[in-house]
Amino acid sequence: MVSTTTTSTAQPSTSLHPTDIPVLIVGAGPTGIFTALLLTKMGIPCRLIEREHEVSKLSKALALHARTLEILQMVGIDLGALNHQGDDPAKHENPLLKNPLLEKFLANGNKVSDFHMYFGHTLSSKMPTLKNTESHFGYALFLEQSLTVAFLTEELEKLGGRIDRGWELMDTKVVEDEKSGQSWVETTIRRAKDGTNIRSTENKIFGAIELEVEQEGKEYDLEVVRSEYLIATDGGKSVVRHKLNIPFTGKTRPNQMILYDGHVKADIPLDQVIVLHGDIGAPLIIMPVAVGRVRMMLNNGPMTPEEHARCNSEELTLEKFQEMVDKTAYPVKIQLLDHEWLTYYRVNERIAERYTHKDRIFLAGDAAHVHSPAGGQGLNMGLQDVFNLTWKMALVLKGTAPTSILDTYEAERPQVAADIIQLSSNLFNSAVSDSFILRMLRRVILHALTYILPRIPHGPPVCMLRIRYHENAINKIHPTQPLPSDEFKVGARARDGCLSIIGDHSHDIVNDIGVARTIEEDMVEEEEKPRLRLHHLLIGPGIFHILVFTSDMLHPKNNRSGKMIQGISTTTAQEIAKQVENRLATWQASYVSSSSPSVIVSNNKTSNHHQEKLFMVHVISASAVDTAVVSASGLITKALGEGKLYLDENEILHERYGVAAKRGPGSIFVLRPDSHIGYKVMGADESAWQDVEEYLGSILTTQL
């Protein structure tokens, strides 16, 4: 028996057709919740549905890598504290250094930087697989997925969002109206009235979903939801992907793995990631989950699909797995005390043939790509997918960008997924290989890697700091200026470094100028004393950040305009201040709509939490400045994002962005709202600002 309900009361969008909600999100794992959080912060109403009534208590994904922690920092800055800070900084703690969301993650996770390679009881090497000196986060944070879900849910609910649990998707399609030329998404969802959608025949391992017709004697609420867009974050067995017949190309690895989660006792330390080789040579991988609790992965050998299907996880007892661990780990002793998760599984390496369907439905996270757990990339990939997608979608819904900007999601993310699948596949191969030669060389190879990994630019690949998007409609190279080296090209991640607030002596949050320090020293000091960094300024989501590097032009000896350096005119503090003020006013008037039906919340309640600014400008000097002249320009006293001047400690940021610190004309960088470089121009004079304005005009839609 099926009953219908009509529950959505949201206002219609800007399109001619009525819709219930601008964005429907299917699947409330970490990726789906993060999607809703990002959209809500940008003022876009969305509905997040989830089939399950309760959050899974299984640990599932564990690792949050450096790039993901950077993103959480950008998203989690307390905007309320920023909006209510007083004029006198001496009376207030710098609100940029307060980040309740990130602090919650850091307080509950384990910071892990090394893989400890054991041969028996001998610690052979500490391989810095997760360590980097590029990011402020020089480690991975190990945190069970249930806590990640809890923290993101709490943040979403603080902003008035919620998860509609118990609703499962039955069908979705894009409706195209020939008369109006409009299109929208129409999705049928249902909810069992008895409170559960689980069927007795259902395989629940790793989120498998088997859609069936309604069961006999069961009653359902049925609803048809119209939305501008649908984002599918419903996992590796995505119902949305199946309904749209999008091929999921790739392979299933023959090796059967056994996954264990529980409390143990061992005669070696288990506080880092352990790769243990016992006498038989097969590796046992152990990862910390909590105090005394670990995740173990053991290779049970290659199997045919039929052999794997005959393995029943319910018959995999703790006693049986203890025997396997004893055999693999010997002579190391590991006692299994209990188990919260014990199952067989096989690794899939697959990627969706396309990420979008008719420009209205988008796949993200495991719905778009799955791979080996080696390297712990999966959860991070999902969060980074939607961090790339949502700001573009928000601009379109607000009428600030053409719909074509959404094409760049398909242009950018699949290649990243393909690279990550290859990386995790290589790591998996090295872990499960039974090659005699590899076993003999393993000690030598691992020892060599301890020296190689720290020397990789931007850190080891698993840190995810090396991701760069290539030139496209929103990553544009300057048409006439020389191409920079790959490290500084458009599409690269915005790099970080320490800053001083010029003229603010109220907080001892920075080094003494001129004292060279390493990233490692910064990290040690950071544990005791917070320090202002460029990434603290990159408030998000949904904001373009314009970085104005001034080289040493503001030094008392150089603060004059008209001098030519490399064919580019220098400028002054007064001219920069004038450009910032005029350009911000122009951009605000041109691109920020005062009202848009797409961003009205249900029941006529408007969100007080979303970002209202679309552009923020930060000026960064490489040298001591002419305080009197710069003060007269107003750059020192400017508000955050309105051209406030900062000092680049030890000229590190100029170096990291490829800008000459001495005798240079400066440079302007436009950072996209996902903190990748969209555009770069040498110089900071009027012509450089005009180039920036033309770039913005090429990717955004004017509201005038």
* Residue 441 confidence class, pLDDT cut points 50, 70, 90: low
**The predicted structure's pLDDT at residue 86:** 43
Question: Is the predicted pLDDT of residue 128 greater than 70, yes or no?
Answer: yes
Which has the closest alpha carbon to 62: 110, 107, 100? 110
Q: How many CA atoms lie within 13 A of 600 on its CB side?
A: 14
Q: DSSP for 302-316, please give it.
A: E--HHHHHH--GGG-
Distance CA 81, CA 83 (A): 6
Distance CA 667, CA 669 (A): 7
> Between β-strands 140-142 and 110-112, what pairing exists: parallel, antiparallel or unpaired?
antiparallel
**The predicted structure's pLDDT at residue 12:** 31
Q: What percent of the chain has a predicted confidence (pLDDT) above 90?
A: 56
Distance CA 665, CA 571 (A): 8
**Could you give the C-alpha distances from 135 to 71, 226, 465, in angstroms and in order?**
12, 42, 8
Residue range 610-649, pLDDT digits in tens: 557 899 999 999 987 777 778 878 899 999 999 999 999 8
Write out 415-472 in H/E/C secondary structure.
HHHHHHHHHHHHHHHHHHCCCHHHHHHHHHHHHHHHHHHHHCCCCCHHHCCCCECCCC
* Residue 653 confidence class, pLDDT cut points 50, 70, 90: very high
Task: Give the residue with greater pLDDT, 679 vs 446.
Answer: 679
| DSSP H/E element including 190 | strand 183-192
> Between β-strands 183-192 and 168-176, what pairing exists: parallel, antiparallel or unpaired?
antiparallel
Lowest-confidence range among 78-82, 90-94, 512-516?
A: 512-516
Question: Is the predicted pLDDT of residue 526 greater than 80, yes or no?
Answer: no
**The predicted structure's pLDDT at residue 434:** 60
Question: Is the predicted pLDDT of residue 382 greater than 70, yes or no?
Answer: yes
DSSP 485: P
Non-local (6+) Cβ contacts of 369 within 8 A are 350, 351, 352, 381, 414, 417, 420, 421
- What is the pTM (predicted TM-score) of this model? 0.89
Coil vs helix vs strand at 241: helix
For residue 315, the tally of other CB atoms under 10 A from its CB is 8
| DSSP H/E element including 32 | helix 30-41
Helical H runs in 42-119?
A: 66-76, 79-83, 100-108
Both structure tokens of 66:
């450096």
Question: Is the predicted pLDDT of residue 503 greater than 70, yes or no?
Answer: no
Task: Give the residue with greater pLDDT, 175 vs 305.
Answer: 175
Residue range 277-322, pLDDT digits in tens: 999 888 899 999 988 899 999 999 888 888 888 887 778 999 999 9
- Residue 517 amino acid letter: R
Coil vs helix vs strand at 91: helix
**The predicted structure's pLDDT at residue 5:** 45
Question: Is the predicted pLDDT of residue 450 greater than 70, yes or no?
Answer: no
Both structure tokens of 548:
């104005």
* Residue 439 confidence class, pLDDT cut points 50, 70, 90: low
- For the chain, give the mean pLDDT: 84
Question: Is the predicted pLDDT of residue 658 greater than 90, yes or no?
Answer: yes
Write out 147-159 in H/E/C secondary structure.
HHHHHHHHHHHHC
Per-residue pLDDT, averaged over 541-564, amounts to 85
Task: Give the residue with greater pLDDT, 25 vs 204.
Answer: 25
Q: Which residues pair with 111 in a beta bridge?
A: 141
Which has the closest alpha carbon to 332: 285, 264, 278? 278
* Residue 13 confidence class, pLDDT cut points 50, 70, 90: very low
Distance CA 354, CA 414 (A): 8
**Phi, psi angles (nearest 5°) of residue 73:** -65, -45
Whether residue 547 contacts residue 669, with contact meaning beta carbons closer than 8 Å, is answered with yes
Question: Is the predicted pLDDT of residue 514 greater than 50, yes or no?
Answer: no
Whether residue 223 contacts residue 190, with contact meaning beta carbons closer than 8 Å, is answered with yes
Per-residue pLDDT, averaged over 438-457, amounts to 57
Domains assigned to the chain? 2-62+144-246+353-415 (3.50.50.60), 248-349 (3.30.9.10), 486-699 (3.40.30.10)
**The predicted structure's pLDDT at residue 351:** 96
**The predicted structure's pLDDT at residue 508:** 32
Both structure tokens of 394:
């928000």
Whether residue 649 contacts residue 500, with contact meaning beta carbons closer than 8 Å, is answered with yes
